[in-house]
Amino acid sequence: MSLFDKIKTITELQATSGFEAPVREYIKKRMIELGYTPEFDGLGGIFVTIQSKVKNAPRVMFASHMDEVGFMVSSIKADGTIRVVSLGGWNPMVVSAQRFTLFTQDGKKIPLVTGGLPPHLLRGTGTTPSLPNISDIVFDGGFTDQSEVEQFGIRQGDVIVPETETILTANGKNVMSKAWDNRYGCLMILELLEFLQGKELPTTLIIGANVQEEVGLRGAKVSTTKFNPDLFFAIDCSPASDTFGDDNGKLGAGVTMRYFDPGHIMLPGMKKFLLDTAEESHIMTQAYIAKGGTDAGAAHLTNGGVPSTTIGVCARYIHSHQTIFSLDDFTNAQNYVRAIATSLNSKKVAEIKNY
Task: Report yes or no: 110 and 152 within 8 Å, Cβ to Cβ.
Answer: yes
* Same domain as 85, residue 36: no
Question: Residues 223-266: pLDDT tens digits?
Answer: 999 999 999 999 999 999 999 988 899 999 999 999 999 999 99
Per-chain mean pLDDT for the chain: 95
CB-CB contact of 333 with 255 (8 Å):
yes
Confidence of residue 132 (pLDDT cuts 50, 70, 90): confident
Higher pLDDT, residue 247 or 75: 75
Q: Quick one: 140 and 153 in the same domain? A: yes
Q: Mean pLDDT over residues 112-136, rounded? A: 74
Give domain status of residue 167, yes or no.
Answer: no
User: What value does the mean pLDDT take over residues 305-318?
Assistant: 98
Instruction: Give the number of domains in the chain.
Output: 2
CA 273 – CA 263 distance, rounded (Å)? 21
Task: Identify the CATH number of the domain in which residue 329 sits.
Answer: 3.40.630.10
Q: Cβ contacts of residue 51 below 8 Å, gap of 6+?
A: 204
Q: Which range among 2-16, 108-122, 161-175, 223-237 shows the weakest confidence by mean pLDDT? A: 108-122
Residues 6 or more apart whose CB falls under 8 angstroms from that of 327 comprise 3, 4, 173, 174, 175
What is the reported pLDDT for 26?
98
Was 264 annotated as part of a binding site?
A: no
Q: Is 181 annotated as a binding residue?
A: yes
What angle, 0 to 180 degrees and rounded to 10, lies between the N-to-C axes of helices 327-343 and 268-280?
110
The model's confidence at residue 110, banded by pLDDT at 50, 70 and 90, is very high
Q: Is the domain of 83 the same as that of 39?
A: no
Give CA–CA dist 234/179, Å, rounded.
Answer: 16
189 & 332 share domain = yes
- Say if residue 65 carries a ligand binding annotation: yes
DSSP, res 86: E
Q: What pLDDT score does 354 carry?
A: 86
319 marked ligand binding residue: yes
Establish if 171 belongs to a structural domain: no
Beta strand spans in the chain (E): 39-40, 46-50, 59-65, 70-76, 82-87, 99-103, 109-115, 138-140, 159-162, 167-168, 174-177, 204-210, 231-239, 255-261, 264-265, 285-289, 308-315, 323-326
- 120 in a labelled binding site: no
Instruction: Give burial (CB, 10 Å; 0-12/13-18/19+) of 23.
Output: buried
The pLDDT score that the predictor gives to residue 125 is: 66
Report the percentage of the chain scoring pLDDT > 70. Answer: 96
Using DSSP's 3-state secondary structure scheme, residue 223 falls into: helix
Q: What local confidence, expressed as pLDDT, does residue 329 receive?
A: 98
Q: Enumerate the active-site residues.
A: 213
The residue range of the domain holding 105 is 70-162
Same-domain check for residues 74 and 62 = no
Verify that 7 and 53 share a domain, yes or no: yes
Q: How far is CA 317 from CA 165, 229, 237, in A?
A: 16, 33, 11
* Same domain? 271 vs 344: yes
